[in-house]
A and B are shown apart, each in its own frame.
Chain A
Amino acid sequence: DGGITQSPKYLFRKEGQNVTLSCEQNLNHDAMYWYRQDPGQGLRLIYYSQIVNDFQKGDIAEGYSVSREKKESFPLTVTSAQKNPTAFYLCASKGSYSYEQYFGPGTRLTVT
């Protein structure tokens, strides 16, 4: 079955710790995206990558970092510099000749 997986679904961390959220896809898509969603707000783009070993900042990249060493994987690290990291994080991917972004199930991160 083709799709996007994100794990874990719920993640709890203490303030001051870095945490890495995983995103894996087996759709053979070139482009991958990370979004953040807060209550009552739309999705905001954190980082995106159009090809392996390349990525660009989105609208709210401060306090986050990513890597794209493999086509299938696009992990997101939430660093201690992110002032308000508690949120729902969504990963998406898109094929080169398609317009539609496919979303993973999301990870809800809670930092206390």
Chain B
Amino acid sequence: GQNIDQPTEMTATEGAIVQINCTYQTSGFNGLFWYQQHAGEAPTFLSYNVLDGLEEKGRFSSFLSRSKGYSYLLLKELQMKDSASYLCAVYPGGYNKLIFGAGTRLAVHP
């Protein structure tokens, strides 16, 4: 079967760094997404990794290891507005069906 695991909840302090992990077991692999979703809103795209390594975009970075079935999202200089759910999603084969993890709810405190 297809499975994506993320921690359910995390808390962090404003200005700090937080790492959200994602592990996946899928029949194939055509790329991994991270989306941010504020409560009651649509997910918004953060990153897409298809090759191993680290991709950096401003305060957000995403890492992928295909051999380990592992990714993480790194958020630096946390702000209150970063309080949201972070969804990990994988294309298990082709570019039609995305498989989503349950999401990690991040709470940033002053």
Residues of chain A touching chain B, judged by Cβ–Cβ distance below 8 Å, are 31, 35, 40-45, 48, 50, 58, 88, 90, 94, 99-106, 108
* Total of A-B residue pairs, C-beta within 8 Å: 49
A18 to B87, CA, bound (A): 30
**What is the predominant secondary structure among interface residues of chain A facing chain B?**
strand
Q: Which residues of B contact A103 (CB under 8 A)?
A: 42-44
**Contact: B40 with A108, CB < 8 Å?**
yes
- With contacts A42-B102, A42-B103, A105-B41 taken as known, whether A99 is within 8 angstroms of B31 at the C-beta atoms is yes
Chain B nearest CB, measured from A109 CB (Å): 13
**Which chain A residue lies CB-closest to B88?**
A42
The segment from B55-63, B69-77, B92-100 found at the interface with A is: B92-100
Chain B interface SS verdict (over half): loop
Assess the B87–A43 pair: CB atoms within 8 A: yes
Question: Interface residues, chain B, CB within 8 Å of chain A?
Answer: 4, 8, 30-31, 33, 40-45, 48, 87, 89, 91, 95-98, 100-103
Answer whether A100 and B48 are a contact pair too, CB < 8 Å, given A48-B96, A90-B42: yes
Given contacts A104-B42, A106-B40, A106-B42, are A42 and B4 in contact (CB under 8 A)? yes
Chain B nearest CB from A61 CB (Å) reads 12
Contact at A99–B102, with CB atoms within 8 Å?
no
Assess the B8–A101 pair: CB atoms within 8 A: no
| Contacting pair A42 B87 (CB below 8 A) | yes
Task: Assess whether A100 is in contact with B45, with CB atoms less than 8 Å apart.
Answer: yes
- A–B pairs, 22, beta carbons within 8 Å: A35-B100, A41-B102, A42-B87, A42-B100, A42-B101, A43-B43, A43-B98, A43-B100, A48-B97, A50-B96, A88-B40, A90-B42, A90-B43, A94-B95, A99-B48, A100-B48, A101-B98, A103-B42, A105-B42, A106-B40, A106-B42, A108-B40
Which chain A residue shows the least CB distance to B44?
A103
Give every chain A residue within 8 A of B87 (Cβ-Cβ). 42-43
Among residues of B, the one whose C-beta sits closest to the C-beta of A106 is B42
